[in-house]
Amino acid sequence: MVTESGRSIAAVVRHHAVLIFVSVTMTGCAGFIPMDAPDSAAVHENAAIVTEPSAPLPYVLMPINATVLQATNTITNTTGTSFASVPGGHRDAPISIGDILSVTVFEAQAGGLFIPGEAGVRSGNFVDIPRQQVDQTGSINIPFADTVKVAGLTPRAVSAIIRDRLKERAIEPQVVVAVAEQRGNQVSVLGEANSPSRFPIDPGGLRLLAAIARAGGPKYPDYEVTVTLKRAGRTYSQYLAAIVRRPAEDILLAPGDVIFLTRIPRVFMAFGSTPSPGSIGGTNNRRFTFENYDMSLAEALAKAGGLDGSRANSKSVFVYRFEPKHLLENVGLEVNGFPTLRVPAVYKFDMSKPDGWFQADSFRMRDHDVISVAESPSTEFIKIMAPLDAATTNAANINAIVNSN
């Protein structure tokens, strides 16, 4: 027979058992919980020197509006070096060292410098000078005209020089100069082209896209390919998609140009209250690649899975990037206090309103933009209550098991 005091002792034991279990559940124990890396406390305790934390980075917060949207999209549209301003292109490619020239001299009648006076000795009123390769000094030799500097000149200009030197000795001479083989006026297309090659510039000039086409075109979509142009010791870069869309960027090439195609996929990151990694089509990270050249914020959010309906604060969707000072000055902001040429900027979108979605669909994304979707204020309360609810449930389950015995 169990006495009343025995029941009280058993109740006290059960009560203490429940408290002990709840305490272990809530606080854990470093000796029993596995870890794959040192925790924060261990890192700090074992440090020989701990430096002071850096001061908060100053930045500009800009709720999106029509003025801000137009200003930032203008900068996005001009990202990269504009090829339209690159000097040195040629429509008529000049003669270059290594080219092989053909020279033909015509005289008005027989008996001159090149055509014998005896009739029937030869037909025609012209003479072909043996082909010559332009030497390292940029010159060729013409009988009775001495050495002629031709590098950097057009065939028409060389014809005029030779004619002037022969006019006192030949009978009304006329001269035709042609490039028989182009060996110096060549450009190279390398990198992620289907058929990387080196070829001469056409007599009427050669444009950038035509050269890329002659090399078989790019291996990858234009929005993933960067074109690097090396000319006269300087390097310029631009997206291939921008060159395709802006005719002024399709410039004339110059002898010696080197064009390099590189696949550099543009990416953006999405953090905060978006669906968990792995839940969007098998994507197991928060780093996404662009799928077109004009990707908008709305498209980026869609690719990241949209807003998490159970956690997201649709009034606070942010895009982080660095902006040049002149953009911020154009929207009326005073940014002289920032020590760098580029200012950390945060754009805020209110997606709880219809116009927020229109603005997001017009906002152009850039390479390495960071999207952050803030959590709803109620989410923090839910996070706090979740372990308490779990502990209470576990305690209730234990109590039910003890009572059942």
Q: What is the mean pLDDT of each run of 10 residues along the chain (405 residues)?
A: 51 52 51 75 89 86 94 84 82 84 87 66 74 93 91 91 90 90 88 94 88 96 95 92 91 92 94 79 76 94 89 93 90 86 94 94 96 82 57 61 61
C-alpha to C-alpha distances, 6 to 10, 17, 20, nearest whole angstrom: 6, 17, 21
At residue 370, the 3 state secondary structure works out as strand
**How do residues 78-134 score in pLDDT, each as one tens digit?**
766 788 888 887 777 788 888 999 999 998 877 677 776 664 555 567 888 999 999
Residue ranges of the domains in the chain?
85-90+185-263, 100-181, 267-380
Beta strands in 192-310 (DSSP E): 197-200, 225-231, 234-239, 258-263, 267-272, 287-289
What integer pLDDT is reported at residue 343 of this predicted model? 93
**The pairing of beta strand 100-106 with beta strand 174-181:** antiparallel
Q: Which residues pair with 239 in a beta bridge?
A: 226
**How do residues 208-265 score in pLDDT, each as one tens digit?**
999 999 999 999 999 999 999 999 899 999 999 999 998 999 999 988 899 999 999 9
Residue among 253, 264, 162, 270 at smallest CA distance from 223:
264
Q: How many helices (H) and strands (E) does the chain have?
A: 10, 16
CB distance 344 to 328 below 8 Å: no
Strands of 126-133's sheet in order across: 126-133, 100-106, 174-181
Instruction: State the number of CA atoms in the 13 A half-sphere of 274 facing the CB.
Output: 25
DSSP code for 275:
P
DSSP code for 222:
G
Please name the CATH architecture into which domain 267-380 falls.
Answer: Roll (3.10)
What integer pLDDT is reported at residue 131 of this predicted model? 93
Helix (H) or strand (E) holding 373: strand 369-375
What integer pLDDT is reported at residue 107 of this predicted model? 85
CB distance 157 to 97 below 8 Å: no
What integer pLDDT is reported at residue 171 of this predicted model? 86
Helix (H) or strand (E) holding 55: none
Fold of 85-90+185-263: Outer membrane lipoprotein wza fold like (3.10.560)
Same fold, 85-90+185-263 and 100-181: no
Cα–Cα distance for residue pair 223/244, rounded to 1 Å: 10
Helix (H) or strand (E) holding 310: none
Q: What is the torsion angle, in degrees rounded to the nearest 10, for the CA atoms of residue 60, residue 65, residue 69 and residue 70?
A: -120
Q: Which residues pair with 128 in a beta bridge?
A: 104
H helices present in 1-110, as ranges: 4-27, 40-45, 66-77
346 phi, psi to nearest 5 deg = -125, 120
What amino acid occupies position 330? Answer: N
Cα–Cα distance for residue pair 357/367, rounded to 1 Å: 21
Assigned token pair, 94: 């000049």
Fold of 100-181: wza like fold (3.30.1950)
H helices present in 187-269, as ranges: 208-214, 240-245
Long-range contacts of 34-41 (CB under 8 A, 24+ apart): none
At residue 176, the 3 state secondary structure works out as strand
Give the chain's largest Cα–Cα span.
Answer: 153
